[in-house]
Structure 1
Amino acid sequence: MSWTPEERFFMVKFYFLCGESASAAQKRFGTHFKIKKKENLPTIQTISSWVNALETKFSLLDANEDRTGRPKTARSSENINVVEDMVTDDPNISMRELAASTSMSKSTVHRIVRLDLGLFPYKIQVHQPLTDSSIVRRFNFANEMLTMIEDGTIDINKIIFTDECHFHLQGYVNKQNWRHWGSEKPDFSRIKPLHPQRVTVFAGIHAGGIIGPYCFPESVTGEKYHSLLVNKVLPAMYDKEIVSGYWWMQDGAPPHRVQSVIDLLDQNFYGRVIALGYPERYGRGMAWPPYSPDLNPMDFFAWGYTKDKVYRSEKHSLDSLHTAIKNVFSQISTETCAKVIENFEKRLRHVVASEGKNFENLIH
């Protein structure tokens, strides 16, 4: 990896200013040049070699640079112009595509985009359109929930957030690759397409860990959902002693709203239910607001995390897909779950601040 004399001087300067600490200087370098990934920073060994070169040779130049004439660099004006033209033509282009198209290394392209062009990678958000009534319901729900949290009526560490998600064998949308390079944050979202689904997975998350996952071989119906809760989910929860004093959350999907499911939840949680249709029948609990995956930890964390892991290698059968899904969920630590649940309260405050509207484009 090539580093300019200015970058080397900055690093060595802060090496001494930070009490001859290479790691501290490395952090200052990353902050100054806005390089977030540690693998894109000069290594500790590289920093040590620069310091040694300065102390022994009184120079920060490499041997092939320490001569007269114009120094060679991949970040030439010509290369910078080429990269700028490509990013202008396609702001959603990836670093890998840029590197392949320009025959430059990925690190060189990244430094041109970040340091020479001053552009930033903005993550494109996916969200559902909100109706006026759903905006009001989201706003009211967030206010009510925050009030209950503050007065101790509800403990967010004792909420079981649940959801279903489709996994398929071929093709998926990797939202981690959705980036728009620009000097200003774009005011748009990419539409989420529909794909044929092959298996449906049910799972839950709370501050103490994961529930499931459980796979449906076919589409989910109210009868199948009720059977899953009775035969697998609730017995496992009772074994872990996470029913008494805990709240159950589910969204407004049709299988969740059948009468047998609503009755079953009341029998086991008695009022500690956050679900569409539940308060209307029993006069207690809370209704989950529509179009609010940005509030459900299963949506804003778990599904994206597991799919990124599951689809890193191609799956050739449903059995291998099931196994991969279970393995990834089993690797999610209790500490991670606790941090994710903390984020729920922060997101409630974002809903209030945005008056019920979508807010994820404001926090990423």
Structure 2
Amino acid sequence: MSLSDTQRIEILILLVCGDKTRTQKQVCEIFNTKYPDRRVSQSTVSRIENKFREFGNVTDIPKSGRKRILDDEQKLYILLDIQDNPHKPTRQVAADNDVSKTSMLRLLKNEKYRPYKIHLVQELNDDNPDCRLEFCEIMANRCQDNPLFIKKTFFFLMKQHSYWSTENPHWTMEANTQYPEKVNVWAGILNSQITGPYFFDGTLTGARYLDLLQHFLVPELRILFPDDDNPNEIDRNIWFQQDGVAPHFSLE
């Protein structure tokens, strides 16, 4: 989204207010605090100031289309814009500098810039190392007893992020593990065989969990692990362990 003429004039006023002159960096900080949804970079402030000094106004001249061939000044502004905010979407960078996205991406490629992807890491608390060690010790002991593993997990959808730079910044971000939207999937690993996956339609409830047991899991176990004396029943040595979540003890 482009700046309005009023916002551009406000930037000029912030640059020179009475006898006080501010730096472009100071103007960016003040403006971005007031307009957090419409942040500007130092290159944007510089471009507005230069336009006013050259033409006496800040209004954009109507053009038939965005430039596909960039001059040296435009290249400099784009690179400064990227350096000021490497997370800024390329579409917005192109719009702010009034150039085509294709030309801007070509410039970044020629300057050896690459869109490095973020690596999400789990948020850790002070007691996490002790908890992890305790978990490893418990699981190591269980593995010696050759247990059957039936666990549950979540698959999260995360928005794609990029960091434009000439070198890999090894960018990471702590991600809360329970807040994004999720798809509920059940799968079981019994000995060397995989059962599932089974996708729940919506939030897991007692009725949907019962449907999983009656119409999916029990028939699957009858086929995979039939009882020696009664092939139509599940092997009596198989136990299905549940925890204390609400759907597991629902009265539905």
The TM-score with structure 1 as length reference comes to: 0.33
Structure number with higher helix proportion = 1
TM-score, normalised relative to structure 2: 0.44
> Which one has a bigger Cα radius of gyration?
2
The higher relative CO (CA closer than 8 Å, separation ≥ 6) is in 1
Higher strand share: 2
